[in-house]
Structure 1
């Protein structure tokens, strides 16, 4: 999904951190089974990962320095060329869409989350210390989205999802969806202690997928407040297919089959590939917050 070249970006919309060390170092001394377990439970888009984060002694602490350079991220042309700039443009587009749609569709006023790009093996948040194996996550404790810049290549290598621009943007939009759930009180009201195909954990994740689709619905018509031009060019069928491919790749059944060779729906925390694609498509086609209410449908409709 291409950004209009002339939109103006604020490089300070994100903060950057270095997590000490690079990918390939041992992750907390854990076994490969531990790493696979983390992947199966929380790879890509966990919610409030306080129970899943790596809090072992000796975990790397985040520093204020970073190798991520955002100084060139000033316009849409840079967003189309550089991944870190694409993250900034996606965040600004999400801010604009939700700033309009959340209150206009009966929700509270939108308050933008912090967005942290990090590189390394671990990052600190108000929810704890997360290793790079956790993947992108949202922490309500500091109202921040955290994204490891190495995740996109991992997504393609370990999950089989093509690393396309709209697939990247879908991931960010999903995490911002968790922030919307925090603002509306949905996250606090949900029982996230359980697992299974119809659990509140799965309903939260599928709603965040629907919210990501809702962003796609409005992204090509919502203007950049600086220039008045839409943030994004209307996505092509091929670009939408790339995002759907990413949604399929992060389904619990697909991840379990790929890493464990079998599927156990009783342990699901994010939903199946079919569910994730269907709810993303629901949001994209309807543009309705109310249509995304996964807590209002019974198990047969989930």
Structure 2
């Protein structure tokens, strides 16, 4: 996904936080560790709203700062952290229009690691949403790892899909979805799977609306997504399917342990949102067979 170079994105509220900034963008991680990243990213912490939340992490709070050098669409095209920060403007604009009473979450760009009310946000957990804080945590290192060592491009639109997915969890939090459909275990028909597929659907709805979102001067934030970029986002959705993660971990596919849905389901619900908007994203009203 490409930002218009002259779009103004400096009004974003994203902050940088963490203790180990020196490791961002550096180092290498093996395939086994990447599987751990994927499992951590889409199993556990981002579902703490369904599980009742996590414990407060230990240690002194890390310092926060604004994302420097993130003022224009050209900056967002050049840097992962700015791209994510800039996209938060688009997401807030979209959900303020779609959802009465919407309140923005706090986006945090993680440098290395930081403590949260849902545990530690770090390279080992990947992006997640923390419901008690109403905060989205994203470590941009995750995307460079995927690009370099996991046979996926993890390009700009794939990155924004991940961010939009976490914002989808925020929408679920403030609309009471987590309260109405609490954790009922794992499996292909579980509330956890339904919540994740709904967040994928919300992400697709937002992506379809991207060309309509404009800065304070009326300049569109982004250009129309290309077919290749949409395929990249769908590939990212497939990468984090429960069946794919299980296969990459070296084991067989065990549907009864699923928490997020299959690769096919994640792609299909993203596409449902893209084609039909957020009103089509009620994954809790369909039968298990229709998921």
- TM-score over 0.5 (shorter chain): yes
Shift of residue 129, structure 1, vs aligned partner: 2.4
> What are the equivalent positions in structure 2 for 1:133-212 lying under 5 Å apart?
133-157=124-148, 159-212=150-203
- Match for 2:259 among 266, 269, 273? 269
Q: Which runs of 5+ in 2 are unaligned?
A: none
Question: Which structure 2 residues correspond to residues 1-302 of structure 1 after superposition, within 5 A?
Answer: 1-10=1-10, 13-20=13-20, 22=23, 39=37, 41-44=39-42, 46-49=45-48, 63-64=62-63, 70-103=67-100, 109-120=101-112, 122-157=113-148, 159-224=150-215, 226-287=216-277, 289-302=278-291
Kindly tell me the number of residue pairs found equivalent between the two proteins.
284
SS of the residue 1:117 aligns to: strand
TM normalised by structure 2 equals 0.88
CA offset at residue 227 of structure 1? 1.3
Separation of aligned partners in 1, 2:290 and 2:71: 44
More deviation, 15-24/45-54: 45-54
Q: How far did residue 124 of structure 1 move?
A: 1.1
Quote how far apart the aligned CAs of 1:61 are: 5.6
How well do the aligned residues superpose, as a CA RMSD in angstroms?
2.9
CA distance in 1, matches of 2:287, 2:168: 21
Runs of 4+ in 1 over 6 A off after TM superposition: 50-57
TM-score, normalization by structure 1: 0.85
1:40 and 1:252 in contact (8 A); partners too: no
Unaligned regions of 5+ residues in structure 1, if any?
A: 26-31, 104-108
Alpha-carbon contact 1:14-1:117 (below 8 Å) kept: yes
- What SS class does the counterpart of residue 293 from structure 1 fall into? coil
Deviations 1:232-283 (A, max 9, x none): 1110101101101100111010011011232111111111000000000000
The answer to whether the 8 A contact 1:5-1:75 is kept is: yes
CA contact (8 A) 2:187 2:259 kept: yes
Q: What SS does the aligned partner of 2:124 have?
A: helix
1:43-92 deviation per Cα after TM superposition (whole angstroms, max 9, x unaligned): 347524487999799x77652167xx722111111111111111111100
Deviation string, structure 1 residues 79-134 (Cα, Å, up to 9, x no partner): 1111111111110000111111123xxxxx110000000111x3211222234211
Hey, what's the Cα distance between the residues in 1 that align with 2:256 and 2:38? 13
Q: Secondary structure at the match of 1:198?
A: coil
Report the Cα distance in structure 1 between the residues aligned to 2:52 and 2:150, rounded to whole angstroms.
Answer: 20
Q: What is the deviation of 1:168?
A: 0.5
SS across alignment from 1:211: helix
Whether the 8 Å contact between 1:19 and 1:61 is mirrored in structure 2 is no
What SS does the corresponding residue of 2:266 show, helix, strand or coil? helix
Return closer, same or farther for 1:202/1:19 CA change in 2, 3 Å cut-off: farther
